[in-house]
Amino acid sequence: GAVVSQHPSWVICKSGTSVKIECRSLDFQATTMFWYRQFPKQSLMLMATSNEGSKATYEQGVEKDKFLINHASLTLSTLTVTSAHPEDSSFYICSASVERGYGYTFGSGTRLTVV
Protein backbone atom coordinates (compact mmCIF):
# COMPACT_ATOMS: atom_id res chain seq x y z
CA GLY A 1 0.00 0.00 0.00
CA ALA A 2 0.85 3.70 0.03
CA VAL A 3 2.10 3.97 -3.51
CA VAL A 4 2.81 7.23 -5.29
CA SER A 5 2.94 7.02 -9.07
CA GLN A 6 4.99 9.70 -10.81
CA HIS A 7 4.96 10.35 -14.56
CA PRO A 8 6.78 10.73 -16.79
CA SER A 9 9.92 9.00 -15.58
CA TRP A 10 11.99 11.01 -18.01
CA VAL A 11 11.38 13.83 -20.45
CA ILE A 12 13.45 15.84 -22.90
CA CYS A 13 12.12 19.21 -23.97
CA LYS A 14 13.28 22.24 -25.88
CA SER A 15 14.18 25.50 -24.18
CA GLY A 16 11.17 27.74 -23.78
CA THR A 17 8.60 24.98 -23.61
CA SER A 18 6.67 23.82 -20.56
CA VAL A 19 6.66 20.38 -18.99
CA LYS A 20 4.09 18.91 -16.62
CA ILE A 21 4.96 16.22 -14.09
CA GLU A 22 2.19 14.29 -12.36
CA CYS A 23 2.11 12.55 -9.03
CA ARG A 24 -0.79 10.34 -8.08
CA SER A 25 -1.45 8.58 -4.80
CA LEU A 26 -2.85 5.23 -5.88
CA ASP A 27 -4.32 3.73 -2.74
CA PHE A 28 -4.58 6.57 -0.27
CA GLN A 29 -5.55 10.20 -0.09
CA ALA A 30 -2.67 12.62 0.08
CA THR A 31 -3.70 15.90 1.62
CA THR A 32 -0.11 17.06 1.47
CA MET A 33 2.49 16.39 -1.16
CA PHE A 34 6.06 17.60 -1.32
CA TRP A 35 8.10 18.37 -4.42
CA TYR A 36 11.85 17.96 -4.37
CA ARG A 37 14.63 18.69 -6.79
CA GLN A 38 17.83 16.69 -6.86
CA PHE A 39 20.98 17.63 -8.75
CA PRO A 40 23.46 14.90 -9.68
CA LYS A 41 25.25 13.43 -6.70
CA GLN A 42 23.44 15.78 -4.34
CA SER A 43 20.71 15.54 -1.77
CA LEU A 44 17.05 16.35 -2.18
CA MET A 45 16.09 19.97 -1.85
CA LEU A 46 12.50 20.76 -0.97
CA MET A 47 10.93 23.05 -3.55
CA ALA A 48 7.40 23.35 -2.26
CA THR A 49 4.69 21.84 -0.13
CA SER A 50 1.44 21.20 -1.91
CA ASN A 51 -1.84 21.12 -0.02
CA GLU A 52 -5.05 19.91 -1.60
CA GLY A 53 -7.34 22.74 -2.47
CA SER A 54 -4.99 25.55 -1.57
CA LYS A 55 -1.95 27.33 -2.90
CA ALA A 56 1.39 25.65 -2.57
CA THR A 57 3.97 26.90 -0.12
CA TYR A 58 7.29 27.49 -1.83
CA GLU A 59 10.71 27.35 -0.25
CA GLN A 60 12.88 30.41 -0.31
CA GLY A 61 14.56 30.90 -3.64
CA VAL A 62 12.09 28.80 -5.64
CA GLU A 63 10.31 30.77 -8.34
CA LYS A 64 6.60 30.13 -7.96
CA ASP A 65 5.84 31.50 -11.40
CA LYS A 66 8.29 29.11 -12.97
CA PHE A 67 7.40 26.01 -11.01
CA LEU A 68 3.62 25.88 -10.97
CA ILE A 69 2.13 23.42 -8.53
CA ASN A 70 -1.48 22.33 -8.57
CA HIS A 71 -3.08 19.99 -6.04
CA ALA A 72 -6.68 19.97 -7.15
CA SER A 73 -7.64 16.60 -5.71
CA LEU A 74 -6.63 14.32 -2.87
CA THR A 75 -4.93 11.95 -5.28
CA LEU A 76 -3.21 14.22 -7.79
CA SER A 77 -0.56 16.91 -7.60
CA THR A 78 1.20 18.35 -10.63
CA LEU A 79 4.37 20.34 -11.11
CA THR A 80 4.68 22.36 -14.29
CA VAL A 81 8.06 23.74 -15.27
CA THR A 82 7.25 26.76 -17.41
CA SER A 83 9.53 28.22 -20.05
CA ALA A 84 12.13 25.62 -19.28
CA HIS A 85 15.83 26.39 -19.58
CA PRO A 86 18.83 24.05 -19.55
CA GLU A 87 19.54 24.99 -15.93
CA ASP A 88 16.17 23.50 -15.00
CA SER A 89 17.47 20.10 -16.02
CA SER A 90 17.34 17.98 -12.90
CA PHE A 91 15.69 15.04 -11.18
CA TYR A 92 12.32 15.95 -9.68
CA ILE A 93 10.73 13.77 -7.02
CA CYS A 94 7.35 14.02 -5.32
CA SER A 95 6.48 12.66 -1.92
CA ALA A 96 3.35 12.26 0.16
CA SER A 97 2.80 11.82 3.83
CA VAL A 98 0.78 8.66 4.20
CA GLU A 99 -0.85 8.45 7.58
CA ARG A 100 -0.04 9.72 10.99
CA GLY A 101 3.24 8.28 12.08
CA TYR A 102 3.80 6.10 9.05
CA GLY A 103 6.24 8.24 7.21
CA TYR A 104 6.55 9.40 3.69
CA THR A 105 6.33 7.62 0.37
CA PHE A 106 8.12 8.83 -2.72
CA GLY A 107 7.44 8.77 -6.41
CA SER A 108 9.99 7.20 -8.71
CA GLY A 109 11.20 10.57 -9.92
CA THR A 110 11.30 12.40 -13.23
CA ARG A 111 14.53 13.10 -15.07
CA LEU A 112 14.06 16.40 -16.94
CA THR A 113 16.54 17.37 -19.63
CA VAL A 114 16.12 20.73 -21.33
CA VAL A 115 18.00 21.12 -24.61
Partner 1 sequence: AQSVTQLGSHVSVSEGALVLLRCNYSSSVPPYLFWYVQYPNQGLQLLLKYTTGATLVKGINGFEAEFKKSETSFHLTKPSAHMSDAAEYFCAVSRGNNAGNMLTFGGGTRLMVKP
Residues at the interface with partner 1 (CB under 8 A)? 4, 6, 9-10, 31-32, 34, 41-44, 46, 49, 51, 91, 93, 95, 97, 100-109, 111
Taking alpha carbons only, the member of 80, 84, 65 closest to residue 22 is: 80
Kindly state the smallest distance separating residue 100's Cβ from partner 1, in Å: 5
SS3 state at 37: strand
Nearest approach in angstroms of CB 109 to partner 1 is: 5
Nearer to partner 1, 20 or 111 (CB): 111
62 vs 82 by CB, closer to partner 1? 62
Q: Which is nearer to partner 1, 55 or 102 (CB)?
A: 102
Nearest to residue 16, comparing CAs of 91, 69, 66?
Answer: 66
What's the CA gap between 27 and 24, in Å, rounded? 9
CB-nearer residue toward partner 1: 51 or 82: 51
CA–CA separation, 33 and 85 (whole Å): 25
